[in-house]
């Protein structure tokens, strides 16, 4: 094999030598393509696997942890929630509509391939600077519009509600946007399907859409950083058809009611290659496949293209022998292809045939077992020493009054209401959505089969991850769980999507390693194990990496569907803050907006206080002594209360004791603001949990006031609800 071809497949010299050792000969082009895809960063996790070991993954309520298509938890009365989050970052930067749309399609298949009907979508989006009129700003606005339209198109056409999400902006994402898609489905806890292929002689059946050349090399493309040459890789972006996926989901769910299936796997990254190798590998089996029998939508396709295409809306099934015609009949009813393309063997090898001739032969276990696990160099980033002394230096900040600072923060895209985004999503199809998007806090759906609410909280503060990757990773776990708890639900487990820069940079690998340690620590201390997840590296353009972004979704359950609101409910309600003011300005939005800095240091998280906060709100809600509860987020108490005021159309007058008058904007951890029905009972309960509570004031009036800040409610709402749309829609 010539050196140029090997390099084009992103195979290193040491990896090629390992291939020669496994095969005992030179690979042909098809075999090289398979190794390239399976050993890509996207599929093999070769840079990250070392640090993923040790994630807490077990609890009495965990049915399936990492290693399958999605994670599964018990939600009571014989029902289970199936969920996962994945990235589609590189494709969405290249072609935002199709990249984001197929990201949604892929995560939906991961969930319904487990036997669950998908009931909710969410998304975590990061973009660069959208304000201004230079080329980058205009392009970022184009990416926002395209990505959101793609997400809306796929989810809406599938008839699956998009119930919530998060979106943030920072210039570190100018060269690499992040599109992370989350889906959650519901099924019976004893009717879960797995991605396995076992039983010698059992047929392997291809179902779904035909295979084309779209998405060729997608897994390898997603395992590289961007430069000027590869920004135009549109052929590596898949093209989605949500109507075909809707048919595929319904056909699969009908199939799952039978006993015809041994195992089933989505054809995701690396297409037919990853699905076939993973299914056989999990069972220690071999497999024969006749690639000329694969349904094709383009002429003159080669075995190489068929194995590596990432055409969408396709699945691979291992069926019980003798059930082939029954399975074909189900898929024919839904107007979908279903073809027997192979069978399970006991050879431990993948044998690929092309019109009767052997085209490739690869041992399955060695390909997985010998997949590189890299021990890349790590180095603490030099910038950390430069920024650690800048917690709130006052160089400029002290010249800005709190009123001016409030007005500046209110107009920041990270604070503004995103109705331009969520109004494009159908949040109500399926009639299970309890809480509408835009109402702050966690999202929630009801499960009709057992009457519970499943609550989903999504969070990641990228600035704090930049300032301290370990505490930032832990904080994402804590904050997402806190959102769930503020709804009155008990957080049970998380899924993650770990987005970082180029692993060839030792400073990025240090950030990643630290982020993983923080997540492990928080999951262990807060008792919310990791059940599924994804890693996305190489989020770098021209040597500039993104801020570390370990996006987390925490999933919890409440025994009934009555969710505690996240906004003001009625006038005259006393408002309390739970937690302490510690003057945390490191990585804060205040520092970013006022001082144009992402800097400072972060204190350690007190997990006992964090968990006590969750338990206090859950218990107080059960006792019916709370009107509402909301986690204190970016912009501190001032911006948290301001957003609640805008959404509820209720003013309020609040007074917060501060050592520094700017502390109304500081971002200490483990805090919430709550509306209290019975103040005496609430204080008594808080003392039982050993938490400090402070009365801030009362809801009501047509003004929003906190300390030396005052804003007319109508004027504040006008800014909050209209400014984001004006920014994104501007033409020049």
Domains of the chain: 3-38+193-369 (3.90.650.10), 412-416+565-732 (3.90.650.10)
* Under 8 Å between Cβ of 266 and 106: yes
Helix (H) or strand (E) holding 497: strand 490-499
Residue length of the chain: 732
Does 266 carry a binding-site annotation?
Answer: yes
Look up residue 277 and give its two tokens: 């190798």
Does 621 carry a binding-site annotation?
Answer: no
* Under 8 Å between Cβ of 254 and 330: yes
Does 615 carry a binding-site annotation?
Answer: no
* Under 8 Å between Cβ of 474 and 519: yes
CA 169 to chain centroid, in Å, comes to 16
Look up residue 150 and give its two tokens: 């793609």
Three-state DSSP at 66 gives strand
> Which residues touch 597 (CB under 8 Å, ≥6 apart)?
387, 390, 591
CA 436 to chain centroid, in Å, comes to 20
Edge-first strand order for the sheet with 574-578 is 626-631, 672-676, 574-578, 693-699, 652-654, 703-706, 709-712
Does 214 carry a binding-site annotation?
Answer: no
Can you tell me which residue has the tokens 């898949």? 238
> Which residues touch 201 (CB under 8 Å, ≥6 apart)?
321, 343, 344
| pLDDT value at residue 398 | 65
Edge-first strand order for the sheet with 443-446 is 443-446, 453-459, 549-558, 490-499, 530-536
| pLDDT value at residue 494 | 98
CA dist 637 and 555 (Å) reads: 25
Beta bridge partners of 675: 575, 628
Three-state DSSP at 355 gives coil
Longest Cα separation, the chain: 81
Is pTM beyond 0.85? Reply is yes
Mean pLDDT of each 10-residue bin along the chain, 732 residues long: 90 92 95 93 88 96 95 98 96 94 95 97 98 96 97 96 97 97 97 94 96 71 51 62 95 96 91 93 95 95 94 95 97 97 96 97 88 92 93 65 98 98 95 96 97 98 98 98 98 98 96 98 98 96 94 97 96 98 96 95 97 98 98 98 98 96 97 98 98 98 97 98 96 61
Does 496 carry a binding-site annotation?
Answer: yes
Does 459 carry a binding-site annotation?
Answer: no
What ranges make up the beta strands (E) of 129-253? 162-169, 178-188, 203-208
Does 310 carry a binding-site annotation?
Answer: yes
* Under 8 Å between Cβ of 596 and 685: no
Pair type for strands 574-578 and 540-541: unpaired
Task: Choose, from 88, 139, 153, 290, the residue flagged as catalytic.
Answer: 88
Q: Is there a catalytic annotation at residue 42?
A: yes
Question: How many Cβ atoms from other residues are within 10 Å of residue 389's Cβ?
Answer: 10
Nearest to 69 by CA among 532, 689, 691: 532
Q: What is the CA radius of gyration of the chain?
A: 26
Three-state DSSP at 371 gives coil
Does 110 carry a binding-site annotation?
Answer: yes
Does 534 carry a binding-site annotation?
Answer: yes
Does 533 carry a binding-site annotation?
Answer: yes
Does 86 carry a binding-site annotation?
Answer: yes
Does 312 carry a binding-site annotation?
Answer: yes
First to last CA, the chain: 51
CA dist 128 and 141 (Å) reads: 9
CA dist 125 and 546 (Å) reads: 13
CA dist 102 and 98 (Å) reads: 6
Does 13 carry a binding-site annotation?
Answer: no
CA dist 315 and 446 (Å) reads: 29
CA dist 427 and 445 (Å) reads: 10
Task: Choose, from 9, 42, 153, 290, the residue flagged as catalytic.
Answer: 42
Can you tell me which residue has the tokens 């989605």? 240
Can you tell me which residue has the tokens 């060839």? 504
For 480-493, give one letter per residue: b (16+ CB within 10 A) or e.
bbbbbbbbbbbbbb
> Distance of CA 649 to CAs 702, 715, 721, 725, Å?
9, 11, 12, 20
Question: How many Cβ atoms from other residues are within 10 Å of residue 293's Cβ?
Answer: 14
| pLDDT value at residue 230 | 52
CA dist 556 and 491 (Å) reads: 4
Does 265 carry a binding-site annotation?
Answer: no
Half-sphere exposure of 604 (CA within 13 A, CB side): 4
Nearest to 165 by CA among 112, 104, 110: 104
| pLDDT value at residue 392 | 73
Q: Is 450 exposed, middle or buried (0-12, 13-18, 19+ CB in 10 A)?
A: middle
CA dist 20 and 24 (Å) reads: 5
| pLDDT value at residue 42 | 82
Q: Is there a catalytic annotation at residue 153?
A: no
Beta bridge partners of 445: 433, 454
| pLDDT value at residue 367 | 86
CA 114 to chain centroid, in Å, comes to 18
What ranges make up the beta strands (E) of 461-529? 490-499
Question: How many Cβ atoms from other residues are within 10 Å of residue 402's Cβ?
Answer: 18
| pLDDT value at residue 235 | 57
Does 560 carry a binding-site annotation?
Answer: no
CA dist 317 and 338 (Å) reads: 10
CA dist 36 and 18 (Å) reads: 12
């Amino acid at each position: 094999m010539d050196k140029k071809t090997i390099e084009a497949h992103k195979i290193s010299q040491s990896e090629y030598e390992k291939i020669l050792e496994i095969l005992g000969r030179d690979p042909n082009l098809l075999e090289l393509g398979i190794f390239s895809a399976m050993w890509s960063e996207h599929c093999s996790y070769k840079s990250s696997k070392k640090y993923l070991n040790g994630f807490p993954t077990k609890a009495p309520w965990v049915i399936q942890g990492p290693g399958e298509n999605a994670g599964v938890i018990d939600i009571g009365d014989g029902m289970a929630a199936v969920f996962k989050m994945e990235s589609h970052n590189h494709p969405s930067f290249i072609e935002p509509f199709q990249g984001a749309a197929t990201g949604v399609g892929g995560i939906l298949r991961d969930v319904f391939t487990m036997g669950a009907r998908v009931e909710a979508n969410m998304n975590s989006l990061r973009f660069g600077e959208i304000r201004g009129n230079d080329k980058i700003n205009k392009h970022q606005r184009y990416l926002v519009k395209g990505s959101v339209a793609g997400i809306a198109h796929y989810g809406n056409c599938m008839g699956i509600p998009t119930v919530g999400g998060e979106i943030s902006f920072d210039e570190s994402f100018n060269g690499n946007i992040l599109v992370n898609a989350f889906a959650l489905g519901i099924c019976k806890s004893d009717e879960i399907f797995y991605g396995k292929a076992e039983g010698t002689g059992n047929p392997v059946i291809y179902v779904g859409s035909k295979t084309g050349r779209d998405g060729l090399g997608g897994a390898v493309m997603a395992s590289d950083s961007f430069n000027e040459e590869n920004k135009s890789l549109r052929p590596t972006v898949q093209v989605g058809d949500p109507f075909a996926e809707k048919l595929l989901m319904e056909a699969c769910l009908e199939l799952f009611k039978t006993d015809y299936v041994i195992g089933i796997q989505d054809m995701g990254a690396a297409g037919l290659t990853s699905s076939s190798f993973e299914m056989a590998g999990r069972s220690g089996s071999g497999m024969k496949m006749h690639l000329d029998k694969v349904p094709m939508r383009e002429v003159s396709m080669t075995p190489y293209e068929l194995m590596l295409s990432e055409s969408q809306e396709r699945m691979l099934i291992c069926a019980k022998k003798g059930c082939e015609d029954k399975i074909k009949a189900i898929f024919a009813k839904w107007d979908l292809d279903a073809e027997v393309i192979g069978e399970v063997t006991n050879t431990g090898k993948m044998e690929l045939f092309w019109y009767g001739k052997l085209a490739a032969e690869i041992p399955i276990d060695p390909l997985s077992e010998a997949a590189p696990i890299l021990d890349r160099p790590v180095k603490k980033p030099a910038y950390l020493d430069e920024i650690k002394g800048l917690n709130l230096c006052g160089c400029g900040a002290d010249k800005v009054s709190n009123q001016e600072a409030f007005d500046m923060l209110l107009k920041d895209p990270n604070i503004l209401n995103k109705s331009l985004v969520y109004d494009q999503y159908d949040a109500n199809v399926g009639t299970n959505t309890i809480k509408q998007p835009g109402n702050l806090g966690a999202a929630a759906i009801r499960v009709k089969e057992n009457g519970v609410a499943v609550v989903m909280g999504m969070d990641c503060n990228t600035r704090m991850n930049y300032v301290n990757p370990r505490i930032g990773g832990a904080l994402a776990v804590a904050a997402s769980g806190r959102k769930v708890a503020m709804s009155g639900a008990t957080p049970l487990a998380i899924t993650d999507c770990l987005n970082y820069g180029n692993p060839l940079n030792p400073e990025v690998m240090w950030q990643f390693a630290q982020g993983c340690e923080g997540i492990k620590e928080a999951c262990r201390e807060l008792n919310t194990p990791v059940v599924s997840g994804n890693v996305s590296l190489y989020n770098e353009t021209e040597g500039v990496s993104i801020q570390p972004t370990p996006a987390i979704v925490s999933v919890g359950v409440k025994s009934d569907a009555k969710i505690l609101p996240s906004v003001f409910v009625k006038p005259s309600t006393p408002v309390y803050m739970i937690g302490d003011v510690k003057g945390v300005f490191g990585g804060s939005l205040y520092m970013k907006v006022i001082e144009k800095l992402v800097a400072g240091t972060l204190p350690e998280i007190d997990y006992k206080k964090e968990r006590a906060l969750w338990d206090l709100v859950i218990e107080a809600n059960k006792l019916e002594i709370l009107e509402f509860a909301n986690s204190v987020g970016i912009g501190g108490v001032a911006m948290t209360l301001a957003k609640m005021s805008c959404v509820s159309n209720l003013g309020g007058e609040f007074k917060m004791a501060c050592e520094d008058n700017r502390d109304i904007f500081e971002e200490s951890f483990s805090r919430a603001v709550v509306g209290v029905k019975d103040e005496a009972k609430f204080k008594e309960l808080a003392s039982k949990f050993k938490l400090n509570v402070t009365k801030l004031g009362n809801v009501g009036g047509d003004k929003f006031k906190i300390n030396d800040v005052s804003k007319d409610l109508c004027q504040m709402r006008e800014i909050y609800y209209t400014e984001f749309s004006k920014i994104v829609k501007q033409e020049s």
